[in-house]
Amino acid sequence: MGRGDHGRLTRSLGLRHVFALSTGAMLSSGLFLLPGLAASKVGPAAVVAYLLAGVLAVPAMLSVSELATALPKAGGAYYFLERALGPAVGTVAGFGTWLSLVLKDAFAMVGMSAYLVLILDVDATNLALVLIALFTLVNVIGSKASASVQLALVVVVLATMGWFIVDGLFETASVGFDGSNLDPFFTSGTSGMVAVVGLVFVSYGGLTKVASAAEEVDDPSHRIPLGMALSLATATTLYTLGVLVTVAVVPADVLHGDLAPIHTAAETVLPKFGAWLVVVAALAAFSSAVNAGILAAARYPMAMARDGLLPTWMGSLSRFGTPAVGVVLTGAAIAGVVVAFDAEAIAKLASAFVLLTLGLVNLAVLVLRASEIQSYAPAFRSPLYPWTQLAGIAVSAFLISQLGFAALVFIGVVVGVGWAWHHLYATPRTDRAGAIRHVFRRWGRDANDLLDREISAAMAGHGLRSNDDYAGLIARAVVLSIPAGTDISEAASRASSVLSDRIGVPTERVAEQFLDTGSLWIQPSDDHPTATPVALFDAIDTDQLVIVRAASGIRIPAAWGGSGELVNALFFLAGTSSDPGRSLRLAGELAGFLHTGARACGQAATEAEVKSSLLPDRTVRQYALLPEGLDAGLIGQRVGGLHLPEGAEVAAVIRFGVPLDVDDTLVLEADDQITIVGPEDAMPALGDPAPLG
């Protein structure tokens, strides 16, 4: 998970890593500590509570999947909520999500110390405080488990728990329902079931953590939703069956006060080695969850500081490159929670804030869909919108109400403090507004058009999908050069004239669309700065690009999203409204190359050289199929029948000025302009015939 070209995070995480990150974030206290507390409330029916909580987490999982594929930025829930609902709610959400992580980590520390005292004869609370200090120090100096280590950890936990569950189910089946501790199943009726569902909901709070790693996931639009769905299904199954075995084999009077219930149950159904392996798996799961939790929680104060919602010093990095202030604050808060509250109180407060965060995430999807921001283009869309989100909000509100007076008061205090902090401190320091302003625009309120650009940039950072034809976009591009003194309006008019012929939209309307969309990214460079204006059109289904070069420079005024910057080239990208996500990903890929490869683009002498500079390790050659020319032999052939060198392809075919869809069945005609892209060592020199075998 290092940084690749252009300073961007390498997309090295596959489906197995997404699954491991999401599953590993859930398998700690909810599995190894909480079953005893849940069973003390409703007896063996705690099994049903875990199952219901997993089912009720589905709307939030779907909403987070949608947001992660639309806004693949580090920062997770805070980033989603702040951009959707605005800085005021973002401040409350930032405090709330930070506290939810603090409480979950504190709960995990209680569980970890409970398992460690099985090995060490020490006081559990003092041990927890020592461990908190250790994990805080680890995060200050920047040590972090990799996704591969997380994957290995999850395999160990799943294998161990699989052994425990299989042996436990055979043990339960051998004695029968009446001979186990499952009878009576509902020891207190069904009246307390809803409250216990709310209590155990903290077990699924880690489901959304993988959203923060969206920038590092290969093909996140597919793998994040699938990975999260597999993770939720696995965790729900593991929780339900694991708790079923535990309540079946451990007597109620032992289980209800036990903070290491899985170990106690394992001593009954597994050999001694297996019981100790459960302790090892539990400690590994707790360690990973706490370390990852502190790491994630510490990024919230940093992100809020950079958005102007907290003092700037809270966003500074230490000499180790870590947000030391956030790490220390998080560690101190976890220690305070461990000292001040018992395990049940921590579980209730953690569940309350998890439910609050997930309810707001569902609301964020409602707002972003209703805002009709063009650049909000999630590759995965939650099904049954808006009923899925409304159900998720209702579930969160109802379960929070069942967690007791203390949880409600605590949430009220955090909301009040967050709201007051925003109005007293943050309001004078930020003028950003959320997507909800775009909804209010219909009611006469102003929208924040800068948000459209930010979401565009976030979407562009998503990386290409397998069917995004970046090479084809560059191959069919038109390159123009303009004289000194030309302003951006004239440059846009010339680009719009070319695009008008290609997409069938009047020139004036094309230019207006680029100006109205307001999505323009500037790629600074010491010797060849560039800018990429992006606009979306209903009339096309294939993205088009016009490159306007200006050796003497063009200034970008505020109306176009600049502040007087001088650029040497403009890349006008006309995308399609039917698939805006693809268009923005292509724009992001182009912008990434321009951050480091702009010099080669500026030095290019021909159109083919310009295009080659935008396709690293590839060479572009363009050929006119004239009946009397060197390449006349291509006329009448199908693209799929051409014997091109290995790695070469026909990336574009222009006929009478209009780009065609290139596939194997396309028959080349006289006067076609074709573009072939291939490895440099396989492509002929300029002026030579097309490279046919």
Indicate whether 593 and 624 sit together in one domain.
no
Indicate whether 362 and 508 sit together in one domain.
no
Domain that holds residue 338: 30-427
Sign of CA dihedral 291, 294, 300, 306: negative
Taking 50 as the threshold, does the pLDDT of residue 584 lie above it? Answer: yes
pLDDT band at 144 (very low <50, low <70, confident <90, very high): very low
| N-terminal to C-terminal alpha carbon distance within the chain | 41
pLDDT for 142 equals: 56
Query: Does residue 8 lie within any of the structural domains?
Result: no
Give the pLDDT mean for 516-543: 79
pLDDT for 430 equals: 63
Q: How remote is the C-alpha of 210 from its chain's centroid? A: 7
Give a three-class secondary structure readout of 425-461: HHHHHCCCCCCHHHHHHHHCCCCCCHHHHHHHHHHHC
The CATH number linked to 558 is 3.40.930.10
pLDDT band at 111 (very low <50, low <70, confident <90, very high): confident
Query: Does residue 497 lie within any of the structural domains?
Result: yes
Query: Does residue 45 lie within any of the structural domains?
Result: yes
- Over residues 406-430, the pLDDT tens digits come to 888 988 888 888 888 878 876 766 6
pLDDT band at 395 (very low <50, low <70, confident <90, very high): very high
Domain end, chosen from 590, 613, 636, is at 613
Taking 70 as the threshold, does the pLDDT of residue 106 lie above it? Answer: yes
pLDDT for 547 equals: 92
Q: Of 90-94, 141-145, 549-553, where does mean pLDDT reach its minimum? A: 141-145
Taking 90 as the threshold, does the pLDDT of residue 119 lie above it? Answer: no
pLDDT band at 379 (very low <50, low <70, confident <90, very high): confident
Indicate whether 541 and 630 sit together in one domain.
no
Percent pLDDT > 90 in the chain is 10
Taking 90 as the threshold, does the pLDDT of residue 387 lie above it? Answer: yes
List CB contacts of 436: < 8 A, sequence separation 6 or more: 84, 85, 86, 367, 371
| Tokens standing for residue 271 | 């050999």
List CB contacts of 366: < 8 A, sequence separation 6 or more: 386, 389, 390
Indicate whether 120 and 148 sit together in one domain.
yes
pLDDT for 441 equals: 45
Indicate whether 247 and 330 sit together in one domain.
yes
Task: Decide which of 74 and 685 is more confident.
Answer: 685
pLDDT band at 19 (very low <50, low <70, confident <90, very high): confident
pLDDT for 375 equals: 65
Give the pLDDT mean for 75-104: 76
Question: Average per-residue pLDDT in the chain?
Answer: 80
Taking 50 as the threshold, does the pLDDT of residue 496 lie above it? Answer: yes
Indicate whether 85 and 194 sit together in one domain.
yes
Angle, helices 343-371 vs 193-200, to 10°: value is 80
Q: Which of 304, 289, 296, 288 is nearest to 322 (CA)?
A: 296
Q: How many domains does the chain have?
A: 3
Indicate whether 166 and 262 sit together in one domain.
yes
Indicate whether 666 and 608 sit together in one domain.
no
pLDDT for 3 equals: 39
List CB contacts of 509: < 8 A, sequence separation 6 or more: none
pLDDT for 513 equals: 85
Q: Which of the listed ranges 45-59, 61-75, 460-474 does the model predict with the highest average pLDDT?
A: 45-59
Indicate whether 652 and 549 sit together in one domain.
no
pLDDT band at 548 (very low <50, low <70, confident <90, very high): very high
Indicate whether 601 and 649 sit together in one domain.
no
Task: Decide which of 102 and 297 is more confident.
Answer: 102
Query: Does residue 687 lie within any of the structural domains?
Result: no
Q: Which residues pair with 570 in a beta bridge?
A: 531, 548
The CATH number linked to 649 is 3.30.70.1450
Taking 80 as the threshold, does the pLDDT of residue 391 lie above it? Answer: yes
Query: Does residue 437 lie within any of the structural domains?
Result: no
Pairing of the two strands 619-624 and 649-655: unpaired
Rounded to whole angstroms, how far apart are CA atoms 120 and 348? 28
Domain end, chosen from 613, 628, 645, is at 613
Taking 50 as the threshold, does the pLDDT of residue 145 lie above it? Answer: no
Give the pLDDT mean for 22-50: 85
pLDDT for 440 equals: 44
Rounded to whole angstroms, how far apart are CA atoms 298 and 122? 29
Alpha-carbon Rg for the chain, nearest whole angstrom, is 29
Query: Does residue 25 lie within any of the structural domains?
Result: no
588 phi, psi to nearest 5 deg: -65, -40
The continuous run of DSSP H or E covering 400 comes out as helix 387-401
Query: Does residue 442 lie within any of the structural domains?
Result: no
pLDDT for 218 equals: 66
Domain end, chosen from 375, 401, 427, is at 427
Indicate whether 553 and 645 sit together in one domain.
no
Rounded to whole angstroms, how far apart are CA atoms 461 and 8? 9
3-state secondary structure of 3: strand
The CATH number linked to 161 is 1.20.1740.10
Give the pLDDT mean for 39-58: 90
Taking 80 as the threshold, does the pLDDT of residue 692 lie above it? Answer: no
Query: Does residue 481 lie within any of the structural domains?
Result: yes
Taking 50 as the threshold, does the pLDDT of residue 660 lie above it? Answer: yes
Q: Of 12-16, 144-148, 484-488, where does mean pLDDT reach its minimum? A: 144-148
579 phi, psi to nearest 5 deg: -145, 65
pLDDT for 482 equals: 87
pLDDT for 143 equals: 46
| Tokens standing for residue 261 | 């219930």
Taking 80 as the threshold, does the pLDDT of residue 507 lie above it? Answer: yes
Distances (CA, A) of 196 to 61, 172, 247, 369: 21, 24, 15, 33
Indicate whether 638 and 539 sit together in one domain.
no
